[in-house]
Amino acid sequence: MLLPTTKCNTMWLVLCVILLPVLLQAAEAATYECKHEKHLDENYCVFRNVVYDGRNAIEFKAPSSKELHVAFFDSKLKHIPKELLSAFPEMRALYVVDCNLTSVVIPNKLEHLFASNNIISKVVVHQSAATTSMIELILDSNRLQDISNITRHLKKLEILNLSGNEELPKEKAIDLGNFEGMVNLRSLTLAGVGAYYVDNERGVKFPELTLLDLSNNDLTTSNLAVKVFASMPKLETLRLAHNKITSLEVMELTENNKELKEIYLEGNDFACSFQTLLVKHLAESGVELRVQRKNVECLQGYMKQNDMCCRTSLLDTVPIVVSSENPNDGAPTNQEAKDKESTPTTTIKTSVRTTTVGTTSGRTTHAPSAAVAKGEDRSDGSSDASTLILGNSLTSCLALVIAKLILF
């Protein structure tokens, strides 16, 4: 039988073992306090230099528990701490751009989430389709593979940005049917996701969509049917820049989308002849062709037209005229005149091989340099025809040397 003193000591020992780690953790908890700053035209409570690896104790303080807008700058967060959600139960907007997040939480009352440039692969949604309050969700440049919980629960979204999530398309296809029921969408951005196809086999309607961004993908003419845009009666802005499109059913596009006001097409692979007709039809239909980078240089085999690079056909053969020059300053003798008449001017046609470089996603084309400079007649009767600019063509140089040797 233990003595009373022994029992007391044992109880204290147990309490110390249990409570000491908790007390130490509380004592070591990092405390961060936000300050009011103007951001995105709103008053945000801004935290700076916050570090949270998911294990360390952390505490958040604010001037008021009713703060509506919270932002993190120069911070590293593995995920959204539950302490943050407890400290800001009325939070409506959360800004966590470039914070090294691997996951993100959308609490009940949140309306705007800005979480670009992280490594997010998981989105936890605490809202339901019936009670959701989310309006704007910006998740570009992350590692999302599945957005079913977003499309299933956040039915009232108006702005959705998923650009740069390269693992998002299934079998390299953007299926617009995945956004079924999101009838409030006004802006949908799917740029740079590595998509080859755009499908809408289920015929999902987008009654309020005014902006669709599919730029910087790998879309080709055969994999892009403009009929997929017919389900967007209010579409005003269509971004298709920097893909691999060589042709576009623009007449069908303007017929189906009568509200279309502007389109972005730079960085594709249109032939100059087609591009001329394309631009003309857009102008006649009242659709403005927008070009963001007007000062880019075009690749060889391309030329600038309507502020965009387009594919042009270069001459397959270049005539090279080689003529002998009279070394004497005075009038030629009879023998020299006879020799001159018997020495014909030699014309050689040499093929110039041109390599056409196609456009790639996010890259434009560059204009070719002149292949041949035309000879100029001089007042002294001599000619520059034998002096030609042939670039770096080895074949052309050899042909010129052979022609010279023939004359001797």
9: three-class secondary structure by DSSP: helix
Q: What phi and psi, each to the nearest 5 degrees, are found at residue 335?
A: -65, -40
Please say whether the beta carbons of 44 and 20 come within 8 A.
Answer: no
Token pair, residue 187, equals: 């802006």
In the block, tokens 């015929």 appear at 203
Residue 64 pLDDT level (bands cut at 50, 70, 90): confident
pTM for this model (two decimals): 0.72
25: three-class secondary structure by DSSP: helix
> DSSP character for 29?
-
Number of Cβ within 10 Å of residue 223's Cβ equals 18
Please say whether the beta carbons of 193 and 217 come within 8 A.
Answer: yes
Please say whether the beta carbons of 231 and 212 come within 8 A.
Answer: no
Tens of pLDDT, residues 279-323: 999 999 999 999 999 999 999 999 999 999 999 876 333 343 333
Tens of pLDDT, residues 242-254: 999 999 999 999 9
User: Which of 199, 196, 239 shows the shortest CA–CA distance to 215?
Assistant: 239
User: Which of 217, 98, 213, 228 shows the shortest CA–CA distance to 161?
Assistant: 213
348 DSSP β-pair partners? 320
Q: What was the pLDDT predicted at 65?
A: 79
Instruction: Map out the domains of the chain with their CATH numbers.
Output: 30-240 (3.80.10.10)
Tell me, rounded to whole angstroms, the distance of Cα 39 from its chain centroid: 25
Q: Which amino acid is at 35?
A: K
Residue 105 reports pLDDT greater than 80:
yes
Number of Cβ within 10 Å of residue 275's Cβ equals 21
Q: What was the pLDDT predicted at 280?
A: 97
Residue 364 reports pLDDT greater than 80:
no
